[in-house]
Amino acid sequence: MLLATLLLGEAFASPGKVAPPPAPEPPKEAPAASPEVAKPFDFSLVEAKAQELSKQSFVKDDGGLPDFLAKLAFDQYREIRYKPEKAIWRSENLPFQIQAFHRGFMFKDRVLVNLIESGSSKRVGYSPDLFDYGQNSFPAPLPEDLGFAGLRFHYPLKRDETYDEIAVFLGASYFRAVGLGQVYGL
């Protein structure tokens, strides 16, 4: 549970009925976040950080979610999709890929994603270019440090040429995984 808290943040706020926002002008494109410099990493750093955090009160980092994203209706939120061609590790020819979820609707808390490669940790930067926003339009540019709401993992479970969703971590309590011959439960 502590690892989930470290990775995915505080529980998301209770959803309420929210009227869809009016359809304003499309956003101007925000600049992508500058890449973070890789930092040395090993598991002892995770343990030390967990020990440090366990000795202090939780401090919420809301990451500055704009109100127009927080008030998205369910159908509006569902239209925001990570572009599969931008999946993490897609170009590496690995048997798995990672896609992120956009923040908004009831998924308000920011999840910071770091990749560990060759003994170094490097933050994955948010960019509006990573997502297809469907029919949504927003009244202002999206912040360059918006972060993500969670992650989904893809693997060619059924066919070699198709990467199926096999695990989802979204918000603080939406977790699901599936294996070959299984279906997601309720």
Across the chain, how many H-helices and E-strands are there?
Answer: 4, 9
CATH of domain 2-24+38-177: 2.70.98.10
> Over the stretch 63-109, which tens digit does the pLDDT of each residue have?
789 999 999 999 999 999 999 999 999 999 899 999 999 999 999 99
Task: Print burial letters for 80-99: b (CB count within 10 Å at least 16), e (below 16).
Answer: bebeeebbbebeeeeebbbb
Coil, strand or helix at 170 = strand
> Over the stretch 106-161, which tens digit does the pLDDT of each residue have?
999 998 899 998 899 999 999 999 999 999 999 999 988 899 999 999 999 888 88
Neighbours of 160 (CB within 10 A): 7
- DSSP characters for 77-134? HHT-EE-GGG-BTGGGT-S-EEEEEPPBTTB-S-B--EEEETTEEEEPPP-GGGEE-T
Cα separation, 143 vs 133, in Å, equals 15
